[in-house]
């Protein structure tokens, strides 16, 4: 997204976090109003930790945030398990090619070890 190639960025981790993404890189764009930032927290049933999702979108593409949040809320709150169609929709909204999304689905389902190029 920072390179201007995608309309949305999404970062997900548990609380406490085991991953450090560069929120500081996005903040100047949020401060100028170019990007919109939203933070969502989820408590999955039966787990002691929470999930934190951070979304950044171009101002003109902010509707993507709510679309992804709706999918993530259903998955993270234990309403239903993730499906390949969920992964396809998430990938599409994030701006990934169909080919990269399909490779990602195969990888997470254990069908290949190759990671799609960035």
| β-pair partners for 35 | 58
For residue 66, which phi and psi values (nearest 5 degrees)? -65, -35
Tokens 């190639």 belong to: 5
The helix or strand, by DSSP H or E, that contains position 54, with its residue range, turns out to be strand 50-58
Residue 62: CA atoms inside 13 Å, Cβ hemisphere, count? 10
Position with higher pLDDT, 16 vs 107: 107
Q: Where are the domains of the chain?
A: 1-81, 82-118
Over the stretch 57-69, which tens digit does the pLDDT of each residue have?
Answer: 999 999 989 999 9
Residue 111 confidence class, pLDDT cut points 50, 70, 90: low
In 10 A of CB 16, how many CB atoms?
8
Q: What is the mean pLDDT of residues 73-86?
A: 87
Over the stretch 8-57, which tens digit does the pLDDT of each residue have?
Answer: 999 988 887 777 778 889 999 999 999 999 999 988 778 888 888 999 99
């Amino acid at each position: 997204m920072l390179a201007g190639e995608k309309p949305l960025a999404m970062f997900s981790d548990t609380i406490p976090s085991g991953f450090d993404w560069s929120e500081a890189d996005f903040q100047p764009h949020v401060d100028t109003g170019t990007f919109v930032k939203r933070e969502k927290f989820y408590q999955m049933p039966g787990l002691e930790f929470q999930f934190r999702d951070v979304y950044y979108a171009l101002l003109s593409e902010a509707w993507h945030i709510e679309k992804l949040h709706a999918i993530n809320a259903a998955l993270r709150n234990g309403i239903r398990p993730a499906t390949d169609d969920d992964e396809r929709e998430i990938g599409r909204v994030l701006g990934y090619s169909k080919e990269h999304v399909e490779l990602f689905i195969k990888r997470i389902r254990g069908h290949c070890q190759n990671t799609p190029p960035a």
